[in-house]
Amino acid sequence: MGTITNSGAYTAPPVPGRHTVRVTDLTLNNTTGAVVTVVPNIAVDFDSRTNTDYPLPADMFGAGRGEALHSLENKKLLTQAGLTVSRLYAQIPLVYATQTPDWTKIDPFIAEVQNAGQKVLLQLSLSPPWLQPNSNPCGTNSDSVAPTDPVKWAQIAASYVAHMNATFPGIVQDYEIWNEPGATGLCAGNHLKSYIDIYSAAAPLMKQQAASDGVTIRIGGPVLATYSSLWLTTLLNDPRTAPYIDFVSYHQYMFGREALQVQWDSYNGDASLYQKTQESDNGAQRIYSKVYDAVKAGSQPLGANTPIYISEFNTNWAFFKDCCRKILPTRPSGTLFTSRIF
């Protein structure tokens, strides 16, 4: 039932039911199989909620690495599903392989996302070769190393704003500064100090460039891999960074084999993914509340109304039975639902 191409792309038949698919590698004489279930007329109606106090904005949900999908048609499927923002790397080490930018290393990705009807959350991260230390303590050509000159890196960031405003007007409005700087995403002797130096140098120049172009952009961070009160408190209250924070972003993963080897919602002695996302002190909902408390106490311009971007949300990379079902963090009572989830 169905069809399969020579390259192995299987298309299920338009016939409801359970269909067994077997594939044989004639060279290795190996056969493998799978059961495909086709069901008719699946529909999801998000307008049927009885509580309409907090409507979900149109750009609430996004996709990470949407530019990596195989075709424009596939990208448009994300748009049709309501995933209208694509988060992708700015490719700084490639664009700025020399001090003269080569925008062809990033523009095709932005153009594809634009053609799919989406906007971009651009990650400004990593150091180009000429801003890496001569004796790189992080390994030869390691681009996660902190730039030797944060001001020059800031000028790169501002040039991205100028280029995107001129080439893709209205498509790139959100910029994250770096990615997971508290972990392996930033190689530095003092991660927090290096990040504050980078952010405080880049954000003002980016804002100045946007004002000169007559557009509004949003800049945010600290793009944490895990919750950290120290990082959030520092970024949101340091006078060099706080005035330039338009959103706060962090990542939420559920790590550990024990969280993935159990049933989704069964209480059997191990913490299920449902418990990890909803109930425990380190669960997604609790972490969101902690981040929101830090945002409320911060000195950034929007105060408690500062949007929170969960710019990576998933289980870990071990694909166990229940790996891919998601329970999204919910809004703490009485607050604006201004998060984005990728």
Phi–psi pair at 40, nearest 5 degrees:
-90, 150
Q: Which range is most confident: 65-79, 137-151, 226-240, 282-296?
A: 226-240
Q: What does pLDDT average to over the chain?
A: 84
**Can you give the pLDDT at residue 70?**
82
Closest CA to 259 of 172, 325, 164: 325
DSSP H stretches of helix in 186-283 = 191-213, 229-237, 273-278
Q: First-to-last CA distance in the chain?
A: 35
Measured CA to CA, the distance from residue 143 to residue 187 in angstroms comes to: 9
Paired residues of 341 in beta bridges: 61, 310
**Can you give the pLDDT at residue 226?**
85
**Can you give the pLDDT at residue 330?**
36
Number of other residues whose CB lies within 10 A of the CB of residue 311: 26
Residue 271 banded pLDDT, cuts 50, 70, 90:
low
Report whether pLDDT(114) > 90.
Answer: yes
Report whether pLDDT(293) > 90.
Answer: yes
Closest CA to 315 of 281, 283, 268, 287: 283
Run of H or E residues at 73? helix 72-80
**Can you give the pLDDT at residue 140?**
79
Assign 272 to helix, strand or coil. Answer: coil
Among 103-112, 117-126, 171-180, 271-280, where is mean pLDDT lowest?
271-280
Measured CA to CA, the distance from residue 75 to residue 33 in angstroms comes to: 28
Helix 107-115 and helix 150-167: axis angle, to 10°? Answer: 40
**Can you give the pLDDT at residue 206?**
98
Among 50-59, 169-178, 241-250, where is mean pLDDT lowest?
50-59
| pLDDT tens digit sequence for 165-203 | 999 999 999 999 999 999 989 999 999 999 999 999 999
E-strand stretches of the chain:
3-4, 10-11, 17-25, 30-38, 61-64, 83-89, 119-124, 172-177, 218-224, 247-254, 308-315, 340-341
Residue 333 banded pLDDT, cuts 50, 70, 90:
very low
Residue 322 banded pLDDT, cuts 50, 70, 90:
very low
What percent of the chain lies above the pLDDT cut of 70? 81
**Can you give the pLDDT at residue 336?**
36
Tokens of 9: 């792309």
**Can you give the pLDDT at residue 8?**
75
Q: Which position has the higher pLDDT, 338 or 69?
A: 69
**Can you give the pLDDT at residue 99?**
97
Measured CA to CA, the distance from residue 334 to residue 46 in angstroms comes to: 21
What percent of the chain lies above the pLDDT cut of 90? 52
Assign 200 to helix, strand or coil. Answer: helix
**Can you give the pLDDT at residue 233?**
97
* 128: preceding bond cis by omega (within 30 degrees): no
Place of tokens 């095709």: 108
Assign 10 to helix, strand or coil. Answer: strand
Closest CA to 331 of 301, 314, 302, 308: 308
Residue 205 banded pLDDT, cuts 50, 70, 90:
very high
Average of per-residue pLDDT across 113-139: 93
Average of per-residue pLDDT across 56-85: 84
Number of other residues whose CB lies within 10 A of the CB of residue 148: 14
In order of start, what are the domains of the chain with their CATH numbers?
1-41 (no CATH), 58-341 (3.20.20.80)
Angle CA 145–150–153, to nearest 5: 85
DSSP state of 146: P
Among 61-65, 173-177, 271-275, 323-327, where is mean pLDDT lowest?
323-327
Full-prediction pTM beyond 0.85? Answer: no
| pLDDT tens digit sequence for 211-238 | 999 999 999 999 999 899 999 999 999 9
Report whether pLDDT(45) > 70.
Answer: no
